[in-house]
């Protein structure tokens, strides 16, 4: 029988929720790792091992490991308890946070970490130790990158599903960059992304990209939630076209591609800079089944509102089931799940600390 | 000279460290030297007190006797023989 859980990273620890077989509801385990923000969670597609980034407010970042789908967690002890992700001495830089952990789909034990200040780290030992990807750190654009309101963070890592040398990343507010040579060199991939906060013509970099996702069966097609605007690229980020005409607002943070349908994606629109609350003051997940040509609001089972809490960039995810489960958590600590591709929704947990990330895990 | 670093309970619980770590340091040692020696003896403690640049973490305080090194010369604060350093989590958070 498939074991299934939802790992919820919050501002003050982690909650793991599990579906009840009896009535389809959810049971939430007690809060773990308090008072540490749990900023990123990843699942190894081969083994089901989980990694979580914990940022203790006093003692800094650690990586916790679970081999039983989040029931128990361990941290490296004694001699092995080194700083797992740390900037090398020559950078003169200290790690502030880890906002993304991502296992390579092509190379066993390779894990990427996206950091603040913006940098990419790579592990070849399953996430126990990481090295800075110097090629991106030495990029000539880097001194000109400017932080978004959430800090200068590398928040998205998309390893190519078949080519281990190709990785796409996104940084707020620098934009999308791609390497096709194993991280040695990187090219900005922001052509076509306009920004109200930047003068025309749109620059090569500086866009405030909030999230990018792709489907592994069609990696050249990417979807992107920008600070303003939802975009699609059909050439792996070479150029971007707006696809938000049918949405109630073009602002938002998360964007998730359906696990089995490459042209189906989900966003959760927020009113733009005027107030950054959910569009219409309701949580409405919007789904497109035609790669962004049309959109449909999905809110059956979600609260009537008014709802004023936003949803952060990694606080929405999909599982790998069919039909797909879609999940999101809010900054006022409520978590919702759909087990039918987003058609209907139910509460998973309430009154948590503000939700930073959610990851559905299965094995 | 001999210096003792006291480890707070919250950190002892986290990494299984002893309550106090005795250090043998040169006569002109500073707080920074003591924390570097602490890092060499107990890396799991050291990396939680200082970041990878060697800076004291922003929400950690170190007292020499009753004095916070933030009111002295920070990591350059000179130590005397038999000094006792107290590492404490700062009053912070919400």
Beta strands in A69-150 (DSSP E): 97-103, 111-116, 119-123, 131-132
> Cβ neighbours of residue A341 under 8 Å, at least 6 residues apart?
A258, A264, A287, A323, A324, A326
Please check whether residue A254 is in contact with residue A185, taking contact to mean a CB–CB distance below 8 angstroms.
Answer: no
Reported confidence tier of residue B94, pLDDT bands at 50, 70, 90: low
What span, in angstroms and rounded, lies between the C-alpha atoms of A210 and A197?
15
Distance separating alpha carbons of residues A98 and A110, to the nearest angstrom: 16
Residues A230-280 have pLDDT tens digits of 999 999 999 999 999 999 999 999 999 999 999 999 999 999 877 889 999
Question: What integer is the mean pLDDT of A164-175?
Answer: 96
Given an 8 Å threshold on Cβ–Cβ distance, is A95 in contact with B11? Answer: no
Judge whether A101 and A51 are in contact, CB under 8 Å: yes
CATH number for the domain spanning A200: value is 2.130.10.10
More confident residue, A197 or A257: A257
Taking a C-beta distance cutoff of 8 angstroms, is the pair A100, A156 a contact?
yes
Distances (CA, A) of B68 to A362, B31, B61, B64: 49, 11, 7, 6
A88 has a pLDDT exceeding 80? yes
Q: For this complex, say whether ipTM is above 0.90.
A: yes
Per-residue pLDDT tens over the stretch A121-166: 999 999 999 999 999 999 999 999 999 888 899 999 999 999 999 9
What integer pLDDT is reported at residue B93 of this predicted model?
A: 62
Would you state the pLDDT for residue A201? 87
DSSP state of A160: -
Would you say residue A193 has pLDDT above 60? yes
Residue A21 confidence (pLDDT): 87
pLDDT tens string B3-52: 999 999 999 988 989 999 999 999 999 999 999 999 999 999 999 999 99
The nearest CA of chain B is from the CA of A95 a distance in Å of: 8
Selected for mutation to probe chain A from B38, B43, B44, B60 (highest A CB count within 10 Å) is B44
Which is it for the CA torsion A328, A178, A63, B59, positive or negative?
negative
Question: Across residues B58-76, what is the average pLDDT?
Answer: 97
CB contact under 8 A, B48 and A93: no
CB-nearest to B52 from A58, A79, A95 is A95
Q: Which residues of B touch A59 (CB under 8 A)?
A: 11, 14, 48-49, 57, 60
Question: Is pLDDT at A77 greater than 80 in this prediction?
Answer: no
Q: To which H or E segment does residue A287 belong? A: strand A285-288
pLDDT at residue number A82: 85
Mutate to test the interface with A, among B51, B61, B91 (most CBs of A within 10 A): B51
Q: What percent of chain A has pLDDT over 70?
A: 100
- Please tell me the total count of domains within chain A: 1
- Using CB atoms, which residue from B15, B44, B89 is nearest to A58? B89
Q: Which of A57, A81, A89 faces B44 most closely, judged by CB atoms? A: A81
Report the pLDDT averaged over residues A32-55. 96
Beta carbons of B90 and A60 less than 8 Å apart: no
pLDDT for residue A80: 79
Contacts of residue A27, Cβ cutoff 8 Å, sequence gap at least 6: A17, A18, A20
The whole domain housing A350 covers 4-362
The pair of three-digit structure tokens given for residue A176, joined into one six-digit string: 């999308």
Cross-strand partners of A220: none
Best mutation target among A60, A75, A79, A96 (most B Cβ atoms within 10 Å) is A60
What DSSP string describes A175-192?
A: EEEEESSTTS--EE--TT
Domains (ranges, CATH) in chain B? 2-89 (3.10.20.30)
Query: Over 70: is that where the pLDDT of A1 sits?
Result: no
For residues A158-184, average pLDDT:
97
- Rounded CA-CA distance A40/A314 in Å is 8
């Amino acid at each position: 029988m498939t074991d299934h859980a939802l790992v919820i990273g919050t501002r003050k620890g982690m909650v793991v929720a599990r579906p009840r077989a009896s009535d389809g509801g959810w049971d939430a385990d007690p809060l773990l790792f308090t008072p540490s923000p749990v900023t990123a969670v990843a699942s190894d597609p081969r083994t089901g091992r989980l990694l979580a980034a914990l940022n203790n407010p006093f003692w800094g970042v650690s990586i916790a490991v679970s081999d039983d789908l989040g029931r128990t967690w361990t941290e490296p002890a004694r001699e092995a308890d080194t700083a797992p992700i740390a900037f090398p001495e020559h950078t003169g830089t200290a790690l502030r946070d880890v906002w993304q952990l991502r296992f390579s789909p092509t190379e066993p034990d390779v894990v990427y970490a996206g950091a603040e200040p913006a940098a990419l780290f790579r592990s070849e030992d399953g996430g126990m130790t990481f090295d800075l990807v110097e090629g991106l750190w030495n990029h000539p654009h880097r001194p000109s990158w400017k932080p978004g309101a959430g800090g200068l963070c590398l928040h998205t890592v998309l390893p190519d599903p078949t080519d281990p040398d190709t990785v796409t990343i996104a940084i707020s507010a620098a934009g999308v960059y791609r390497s096709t040579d194993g991280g040695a060199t990187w090219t900005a991939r922001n052509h076509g992304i306009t920004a109200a906060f930047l003068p025309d013509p749109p620059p090569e970099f500086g866009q405030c990209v909030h999230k990018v996702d792709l489907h592994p069966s069609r990696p050249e097609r990417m979807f992107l939630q920008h600070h303003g605007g939802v975009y699609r690229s059909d050439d792996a980020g070479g150029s971007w076209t707006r696809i938000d005409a049918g949405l109630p607002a073009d602002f938002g943070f998360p964007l998730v591609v359906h696990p089995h349908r490459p042209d189906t994606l989900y966003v959760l629109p927020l009113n733009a800079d005027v107030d950054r609350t959910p569009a219409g003051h309701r949580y409405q997940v919007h789904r497109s089944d035609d790669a962004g040509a049309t959109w449909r609001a999905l809110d059956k089972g979600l609260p009537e509102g008014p709802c004023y809490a936003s949803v952060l960039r990694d606080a929405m995810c999909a599982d790998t089931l069919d039909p797909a489960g879609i999940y999101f958590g809010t900054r006022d600590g409520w978590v919702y799940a759909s087990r039918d591709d987003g058609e209907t929704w139910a509460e998973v947990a309430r009154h948590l600390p503000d939700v930073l990330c959610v990851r559905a895990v299965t094995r | 000279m001999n210096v003792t670093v006291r480890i707070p309970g919250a950190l002892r619980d986290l990494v299984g460290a002893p309550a106090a770590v005795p250090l043998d340091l040169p006569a002109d040692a500073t707080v920074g030297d003591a924390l570097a020696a602490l890092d060499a003896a107990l890396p799991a403690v050291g990396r939680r007190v200082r970041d990878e640049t060697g800076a004291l973490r922003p929400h950690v305080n170190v007292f020499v006797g009753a004095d916070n090194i933030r009111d002295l010369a920070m990591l350059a604060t000179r130590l005397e023989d038999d000094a006792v350093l107290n590492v404490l989590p700062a009053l912070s958070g919400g």
